[in-house]
Structure 1
Amino acid sequence: MSRGEASAAIRVVTWNIHGGVGADRRCDLDRVATVIASLAPDILALQEVDGRAWAGRRPGAFERLAALLGGHVAEARLTGRGEGAYGHLLWSRWPLGEVAVRRLPGGRIEPRAVIDAVAETPLGRLRVLATHFGLAPGDRKRQSAFLAALPAERELPTVALGDFNDWRRNGSVARFLGAALPNVASLPTWPARRPFVPMDRIYASAGIPLAPVSIDLTLEARARRSSDHLPLAAMLALR
């Protein structure tokens, strides 16, 4: 995962890996890690990290990904225990401090949370909020309001990223998070086979330039074989 000396911008990536199950219905975290290595992220959020054997996944997903990625990892294990845990994680090339896993409101179908951490980047401290919102519209509205209130707690540049399960331009996610973190990177990411909705997004504080990065067709095909979402990458510049 090495990229040599730090550049003038930070590459941020979010990806719902669907437990490592892609178009061929095989669970393979090694090919997920290969796609991630090609994306060369500095900060990475992964959703649907899944070790539930009964759901056709392989036990120890969190442990396996931590070993494959190296670096610094913060976990939100929301259901299951031990190697059978399910949830999402945040990875950083640089140390992560002040890590907290905050439960989100709602979650009748399954519990939801945000990983709240500060990445000690060479360009300065960056607050990172990594999340995976719920499926119910009412839950997403409350989760959006909760997440949108967090940046005001501290005077730190902030980025929020994840699978928000909402693609509407006037939906609750866009309204609440767009007001708190007005710079947005989004591209169609779902379904991976023929993406047409921006389910996955990256939001950043005002004054932080943020630009989505298109991935080449070869890497897109590899990502499609690895998950039902495509990854979303963006370049973020700290001032």
Structure 2
Amino acid sequence: MSPDGAGREEGGTLRLVTWNLHGGVGADRRCDLERALRALQGFDPTVAALQEVDGRTHLGRRSHAFERARDLLGGHFAEARLTGRGATAYGHALWSRWPFARLDILRLPGGRIEPRAAIDALVETPFGPLRLIATHLGLVPADRRRQAGFLAELVAARAEPTVVLGDFNDWRLDRGAVHRALAPILPRVAAPKTWPARRPFVRMDRIYAAAALGLEASRTADEAAGLSDHRALVAELRL
């Protein structure tokens, strides 16, 4: 951890990142997951939700994506492997500096194009428990409505301070099904334009936080814009 990161966290502020890695394929069409993960480390996150961790070699990705991400990042790493097996698995992950006190991988409804999941974790921070739900929602609007409703019920089922973050695949914010489901119960929202990376105009990647949490600042990581088809979303959360 950098000295700046240590001071930030001692003050009760966490840095959250959500980033669709696109399997590590950048604008140069080169698959280099480690390149993207080193950029992630440069953001100095406390928590990171990572979508499209992809070991599908038949699609030009490199094998053992989950293993390579876990080994490079260290810390605490939760996996939602959704398709493929072993070295060629594909899905998403949640990384944390601090250990998980509770961890559940939950399949989401729908998934007509590909299965979807939520990683539901309780992290014991030095400032108290924080619930994190990392997800990557579906491409089909009807599936996405059901998945957003499922997430809203999941949030409401527990009283812990909660953050839901990930790639929601929703092109609309205020009028979209995801925002209508989550914003009433998680009203602190970070949703800058993140896709496509070259010239973003869609707010697909978002962070929703409980009212009791302070979502103080957010930005896109423009310095790593060429490393995926999404820009990373970085936000400061005060507990």
CA contact (8 A) 2:216 2:238 kept: no
Aligned partner of residue 33 in structure 1, secondary structure: helix
- Structure-1 residue corresponding to 2:176: 171
Aligned: 1:199 with 2:195: no
1:230 and 2:237 aligned: no
- Alignment partner of 1:198: what SS? coil
Q: Which amino acid aligns with 2:183?
A: G
Q: Distance in 1 between matches of 2:156 and 2:125?
A: 21
SS in 2 for 1:68: helix
Structure-1 separation of matches of 2:101 and 2:232: 25
- 1:190 equivalent to 2:192? Answer no
How many residues matched? 234
- Secondary structure at 2:91 match in 1: strand
1:94 aligns with 2:98: yes
1:50 aligns with 2:54: yes
Counterpart among 28, 32, 42 of residue 36 in structure 2: 32
**Does structure 1 residue 126 correspond to structure 2 residue 130?**
yes
Deviation at 1:49, TM superposition (A): 0.2
1:15 and 1:163 in contact (8 A); partners too: yes
CA offset digits 1:59-113 (Å, max 9, x no partner): 0000000011000000000000001000000000000121110000000100000
State the 1:34 CA deviation. 1.7
Cα 1:206/1:4, change in 2 over 3 Å: closer
Report the AA paired with residue 121 of structure 1: T
Identity of aligned residues (%): 60
**Distance in 1, Cα, partners of 2:93 & 2:99:** 14
- Spell out the pairing of 1:105-184 with structure 2 (5 A cutoff): 105-168=109-172, 169-184=174-189
Q: What residue identity is the alignment partner of 1:206?
A: A
| CA shift digits 1:13-33 (9 cap, x unpaired) | 100000000101111012111
For the 8 Å contact 2:138–2:168, the answer to whether it is kept is yes
Query: Structure 1: how far apart are the matches of 2:217 and 2:148?
Result: 22
| TM norm structure 2 | 0.95
| Structure 2 gap ranges (5+) | none
Q: Which SS does the other structure have where 2:164 is aligned?
A: strand
Q: In the aligned structure 1, how far is the partner of 2:178 from the partner of 2:219? A: 23
2:216 to 207, 211, 219: 211
* TM-score, structure 1 as length reference: 0.95
How many angstroms does 1:225 deviate by? Answer: 2.1
How far apart, CA to CA, are the structure 2 residues paired with 1:142 and 1:93?
Answer: 31
Q: Give the SS at the match of 2:6.
A: coil
SS of match in other structure, 1:179: coil
Q: CA deviation at 1:37?
A: 1.2
Provide the rounded CA distance (Å) in 1 between the counterparts of 2:143 and 2:133: 18
Q: CA deviation at 1:214?
A: 2.6
* RMSD of equivalent CA atoms: 1.2
**Paired letter, 1:230:** R
Query: Which segments of 5 or more consecutive residues in structure 1 lack a partner in the other structure?
Result: none
Whole-Å separation in 1 of the counterparts to 2:37 and 2:69: 7
CA contact (8 A) 1:187 1:212 kept: no
